[in-house]
Structure 1
Amino acid sequence: MRGPPARPVVIAAGGTGGHLFPAEALAAELVARGERIALMTDARSSAFESPAFGNAERFVLKGSGIAGRGPKAAMAGAMALAAGTLEARRILKRLDAAAVVGFGGYPSVPPIIAARMLPGARRPATALHEQNAVLGRANRLLAPRADLLAISLADTAKVPSSATVRVVGNPVRPALAALAGQGYTSPPAEGAIRLLVLGGSLGARVFSDVIPAAIALLPEALRGRLVVTQQTRAEDLPRVESAYREAGVPADLSPFFGDIATRLAMAHLVIARAGASTVAELACAGRPSVLVPLPSAIDDHQTGNARALASVGAAWLMKQRDFTAESLAQHLGKVLDTPAVLARAAAAAAREAHPEAARRLADLVQSLMRAEALPEFT
């Protein structure tokens, strides 16, 4: 006769890749360990499908962001978060959740607060994960109330002194974690140089403006060796395709690439935004990169993410105000034709990899569930 179902681990993550990808990596690890998973998220995640969440119950909570909004919008957002908290409390009580793990952003706020509201021995353990080099505002609010704050970087800024902290790295999806240790092959002499351009979850218009123009400025001999794969907004595809065709450069363009691990493994150089998942994936793949932080990111956290790689020689940081066709062409001309420079940056990136991050975070979550001492990591 079967006993009652296992108390689930509830993962709270918003509908952007920066939050959902590490949440997916943790879910895959926990499912592999036999844990039951539920997902609390927002409406933006409706298009997100993952085998890790395939059999999980999914709950879309009310709520919206507050930071950076006008007074009326902030008030409406606060009311929605309050409604979402009451909804989350009802769900957590019904599920009899063993733990709630939040990955930042406003969708993690109601489940964590709701978990702390539940009384008695059945109150779920609460953990937070921060992906960025600067602790996000939701996590700053929640960290003093949570049982654990897991961070990706040891020198993460704005961490409250009252928080219980462990450094785990940023979990990446299994296919990307598997790239760690596979090495880097420099471009062959006179052979193809593969450039991969990633613009974040929706692409970056500035990349469509600048990168084809920069490549057109390169010497013909170097330009003739380039093979470009570029994430491009759908509305920009025709003009970007035309620009590469005029430059005589073969280019594979799409708003989204589902086989990002394969494309990273093939790349000799990556140009990208500096979202936390992108930076973690570059390190696991051991790929050199030019990072252009999103200037509008709250607390400028993408610059902090980029510096984590640039400071060790794994990447080149270019502020968007300096990211022009002329400056990028000058930089590409220096590095693309110098395999040793690319190889050194690739090796430095690989040294920053944390392919074990999902395992470490799962260890911590299970320790909290069992009321065991939290493991330390070196």
Structure 2
Amino acid sequence: MQLSKRVSTLTPSSTLAITAKAKALKAEGHDVIGLGAGEPDFNTPSYIIEAAASSMREGYTKYTPSGGLPALKDAVIDKFNKDQGLNYTPDEIMVGTGAKHVLYTLFQALLDEEDEVIIPTPYWVSYPEQVKLAGGKPVYVDGLEENDFKITPDQLENAVTSKTKAVIINSPSNPTGSMYSKEELEKLGEAAINNNLLVVSDEIYEKLIYGEAVHHSIAQVSNPFKEQTVVINGVSKSHSMTGWRIGYAVGNKELIKAMTSLASHSTSNPTASSQYGAIAAYTKEDGSVEKMREAFEERLNRVYEKLIQIPGVTCVKPKGAFYLFPNVKEAAVKGGFSSVDEWVKALLEDEKVAVVPGSGFGSPDNIRLSYATSLDLLEKALERIEQFVEKHS
């Protein structure tokens, strides 16, 4: 069968590949510790589950508006007003089947052939693939490790061409956990406005921040920035609702209308019961979300200190999300490996620890470790990694 050209350009997900290999080893009876998870290891809070169940018992199991239930849009409006002091209207909101699908719909609605989107590296693996599927061209700008993996306004300006349509800002970041300060966002926003770029601000990890870090949305810096920004968010990470598939975009009403029309021909609408669960997530609270954040912070602090003691491993301490993104190039070279990818394969085969190679995120010297698992398993995994490094040195 002759497949379409658009799918032939796709790069297989490195996250899924390593997960599949780890599962295969587990099936063979091996004691594998998987650190590739991109989701919280906590169950969805019970009050959210009950809200969804109640909606089904009460008969709310039919089609909903394509862009989301009015009550959910109202909850999103209240969330932005409370958290960022931003005011939006329902026609500036589109609820979709997870933030990933919302991003996909955004690029389909925004891009024409050869339009360029600036993507800072390291990047979430789906950004470039979604741009390519819309006929666009990813343009990569290196977020340097010495700058906490963040790009500068000068880098942004230098990457702009006559075909540049948008820039993606992901703060807190997957895979690095880095965050932009308000001052950094101000300067990036000025560069975007000066070049008439849409800012796609992915803020899905905004509730998972640690230490003295404070999350700022670029949309709240100024009204011109707000008008030039589409915020992408959802309940997957903040409320441990990854499987519920509820995300949303907030921004320019014309773009939101186009995205909603497009979604109406692809998914019809987000799942009804999931929307009622998301309404509860934003309108009720029992403290479980904060407990989850505290647990992640404890894991980060415990694991980070042990990680940076391993020879040949350096790591910028993340401020958000639930990933560590250490540089292991020195350890790989000393171990005689041709690349970090080969080092990762050997780690899984020898010590049964699954991590994700940074090459899939545009950073071939790094690996991504998720601390969305128990402290016991994390500490055991680090012991195995240290043992592996000592053996190959």
Q: Same fold (TM over 0.5)?
A: no
Pick 1 or 2: higher relative contact order, CA cutoff 8 A, min separation 6.
Answer: 2
TM-score w.r.t. structure 1 length? 0.29
